[in-house]
């Protein structure tokens, strides 16, 4: 009889945001070897408003969707109420469904899920593994939601120690995240596994500029286009990019294209309007199946993080940028996973967060060397195929659960 595995995540199919996509593919990749079940919420981001079945089997995975409020996540009250209500229903469902011998993989965002999962597993005789997409409370400190010396931070560090101690495995998506977690676990990295996220090679690949419908639609075929795609949130250094936008306003060859949502988008739109920045286009999120088009609608991609994000998170859009064969400018800590990927694969430039003058200089340098950009783009696609495929990631996840079987045996 196949081992029964649960995945606990706020987001899952048909939700298409990055976490929803990645958890869906992990679950489906495990389903041919194990009996896989998912506890999740209703779509609340890209497919917000879609009411998916409460229970269904999709691609071999048994899905149970729990109810919770779906208020505006960009407002603190709405975000907190969503978190509380969904956490309570997930916990109740876990108590009813988990059984002795089950293994449960829980995502660390939102931060309540690992703790309610740990409690449910303890009460029901199951074991749990952690999948860390964001490290808490470090991300809250980085985005200045809390002070590093706050009582809440000390409490969370104490709670995390028990959480890490009880996990059979802890999966991280970056080497800097593994290093941070090792320090938090007093040097014990024996249960930490690094499995990077991956590129969607099956639907993202390089597209010749002359075939790009978005560039044609926006009238940008003769511009040097810098593309920012994804969340425009507190964790992203949008300020340095916008400063460069303003500095390059009179340089008609440059154009900045932003695609996405987030709490900083309204600020971005207001600044663009008030400053009459004509070298900017801001678009809402586009469907995931249009990635081949919009990820190729540029000469170079911009990926940014604010300060103090070392070991905290790894922007997943990095991998599809590689798949599209585009070079990138990473705005991040020089020791971050993003920096390591860029430097190891020689696919772009790394600018430390907040270094606005250096970012401007780098943008000008990139625009001046088209041949170098082309070579970087070719290396990017090769790296995506060689290191960051779905097939490799699924094999790594399978190995985690198979190794757990061997350890228990």
Q: Kindly give, in sequence order, each residue whose CB lies less than 8 Å from that of residue 261, ignoring residues fewer than 6 positions away.
A: 231, 232, 284, 285
Question: Mean per-residue pLDDT for 236-242?
Answer: 97
Q: Is 354 helix (H, G, I), strand (E, B) or coil?
A: coil
* Tokens found for residue 393: 């990631």
Nearest to 315 by CA among 176, 189, 191, 206: 176
Angle between helices 370-387 and 337-345 (to 10 degrees): 110
Residue 80 has pLDDT above 80, yes or no: no
Strands 61-66 and 55-58 turn out to be antiparallel
Q: Look up tokens 């780098």; give the residue.
A: 362
* Tokens found for residue 134: 């964001």
Question: Mean per-residue pLDDT for 203-222?
Answer: 96
Q: Kindly give, in sequence order, each residue whose CB lies less than 8 Å from that of residue 338, ignoring residues fewer than 6 positions away.
A: 303, 305, 314, 315, 318, 330, 332, 350
CATH 3.50.30.60 fits 4-198+389-408, yes or no: no
Q: Which range is least confidently modeled, 12-21, 78-87, 155-164, 345-354?
A: 78-87
Residue 1 has pLDDT above 80, yes or no: no
Q: How many residues does the chain have?
A: 409
Q: Tell me how far apart the alpha carbons of residues 14 and 52 are, in angstroms, rounded to a whole number.
A: 8
Bridge partners (DSSP) listed for residue 132:
172
User: How far is C-alpha 201 from the chain's CA centre?
Assistant: 17
Confidence at 409, pLDDT banded by 50, 70, 90? very low
Q: Is 132 helix (H, G, I), strand (E, B) or coil?
A: strand
Nearest to 199 by CA among 29, 377, 382: 382
What does the pLDDT look like over 100-110, one tens digit per residue? 999 999 999 88
Q: Look up tokens 């079940």; give the residue.
A: 37
Indicate yes or no: pTM above 0.85.
yes
Angle at 327 between CA 219 and CA 248, to 5 degrees: 50
* Tokens found for residue 121: 């597993």
What does the pLDDT look like over 165-203, one tens digit per residue? 999 999 999 999 999 999 999 999 999 999 999 999 999
Q: Is the dihedral of CA 197, 200, 204, 206 positive or negative?
A: positive
Bridge partners (DSSP) listed for residue 26:
none
- Tell me which of 3.40.50.1980, 3.40.50.2000, 3.30.450.40, 1.10.569.10 is the CATH number of domain 209-387: 3.40.50.2000
How far apart are the two ends of the chain, measured CA to CA in Å? 15
Share of the chain above pLDDT 70, in %: 94
Instruction: Tell me whether domains 4-198+389-408 and 209-387 share a fold.
Output: yes
Query: What ranges do the domains of the chain cover?
Result: 4-198+389-408, 209-387
The two counts, helices (H) then strands (E), for the chain are 15, 14
Angle between helices 265-274 and 238-247 (to 10 degrees): 20
* Tokens found for residue 198: 């991956």
């Amino acid at each position: 009889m196949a081992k029964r595995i649960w995945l606990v995540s706020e987001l899952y199919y048909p939700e298409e945001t990055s976490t929803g996509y990645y958890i869906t593919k992990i679950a489906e990749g495990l389903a041919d070897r194990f009996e896989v079940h998912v506890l999740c919420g209703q779509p609340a981001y890209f497919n917000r408003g879609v009411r998916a079945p409460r229970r269904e089997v999709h691609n071999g995975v048994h899905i149970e969707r729990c109810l919770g409020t779906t208020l505006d996540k960009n407002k603190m009250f709405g975000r907190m109420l969503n978190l509380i209500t969904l956490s309570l229903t997930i916990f109740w469902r876990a108590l009813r469904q988990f059984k002795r011998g089950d293994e449960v993989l829980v995502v660390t965002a939102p931060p309540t899920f690992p703790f309610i999962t740990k409690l449910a597993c303890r009460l029901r005789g199951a074991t749990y593994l952690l999948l860390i997409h964001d490290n808490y409370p470090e991300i809250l400190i980085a985005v200045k939601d809390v002070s590093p010396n706050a009582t809440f931070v000390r409490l969370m560090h104490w709670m995390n120690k028990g959480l890490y101690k009880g996990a059979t495995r802890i999966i991280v998506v970056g080497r800097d995240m593994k290093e941070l977690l090792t320090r938090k676990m007093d040097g014990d990295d024996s249960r930490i596994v690094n499995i990077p996220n991956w590129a969607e090679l099956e639907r993202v690949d390089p597209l010749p500029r002359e075939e790009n419908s978005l560039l044609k639609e926006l009238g940008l075929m003769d511009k040097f286009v810098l593309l920012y795609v994804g969340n425009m949130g507190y964790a992203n250094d949008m300020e340095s990019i916008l400063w460069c936008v303003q500095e390059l306003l009179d340089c008609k060859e440059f154009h900045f294209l932003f695609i996405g949502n987030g709490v900083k988008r309204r600020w971005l739109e207001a600044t663009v309007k008030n400053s009459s920045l004509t070298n900017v286009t801001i678009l809402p999120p586009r469907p995931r199946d249009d990635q081949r088009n919009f990820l190729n609608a540029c000469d170079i991609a911009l990926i940014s993080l604010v300060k103090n994000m070392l070991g905290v998170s790894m922007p997943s859009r990095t991998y599809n940028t590689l798949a599209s064969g585009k070079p990138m400018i990473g705005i991040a800590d020089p020791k971050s996973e993003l920096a390591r990927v860029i430097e190891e694969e020689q696919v772009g430039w790394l600018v430390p967060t907040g270094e606005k003058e250096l970012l401007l200089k780098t943008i000008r340098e990139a625009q001046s060397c088209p041949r170098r950009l082309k070579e970087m783009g070719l290396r990017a696609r090769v790296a995506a195929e060689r290191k960051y495929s779905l097939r490799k990631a699924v094999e790594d996840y399978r190995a985690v659960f198979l190794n757990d079987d061997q350890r228990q045996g």
